[in-house]
Amino acid sequence: MSVPQHLRIVPSEFVVEHLPHATLPEDDEWIALVRAPEGLTVVRDAPPFGGATRWTGFYGDAAHGLDQPGVLAAVVAPLAEAGVPVFVASTYHADLVLVPSPRVPDASAALKAAGHRVSQS
């Protein structure tokens, strides 16, 4: 396992959408985009109301090199062991690990038990 990380809980919530026939979203209100053969995946700030699954992000506060192995695995492995689903959007400096918002307490406990520090942003 890599060095324990300090993960901050991102204060806003997100939704993850799949747009099967789109190559770009119709607006610019998105956080992350991934285009794949089966369509576009879009991460956005969650609307104030709505029935979509809401996700909360954990984001590392220390940049790591793209060649440093195990950084993401050190975060997602304890979440998998705890049965917490994840969706990950990676940046050049760190990874935004999203978990379903109702599972934040479980995710925080699993990450802390694995040696990570977790705090509010």
Two structure tokens written together for 3: 């060095």
Instruction: Give the architecture (CATH level 2) of 6-120.
Output: 2-Layer Sandwich (3.30)
- pLDDT tens for residues 62-93? 777 777 778 899 999 999 999 999 999 988 88
What pTM did the predictor assign? Answer: 0.88
User: Which ranges of the chain have pLDDT less than 70?
Assistant: 1-2
Cα(57)–Cα(108) distance, integer angstroms: 11
Query: What sign does the CA torsion over 80, 101, 31, 121 have?
Result: negative
User: Where does the chain have alpha helices with state H?
Assistant: 71-81, 104-113
pLDDT of residue 86: 98
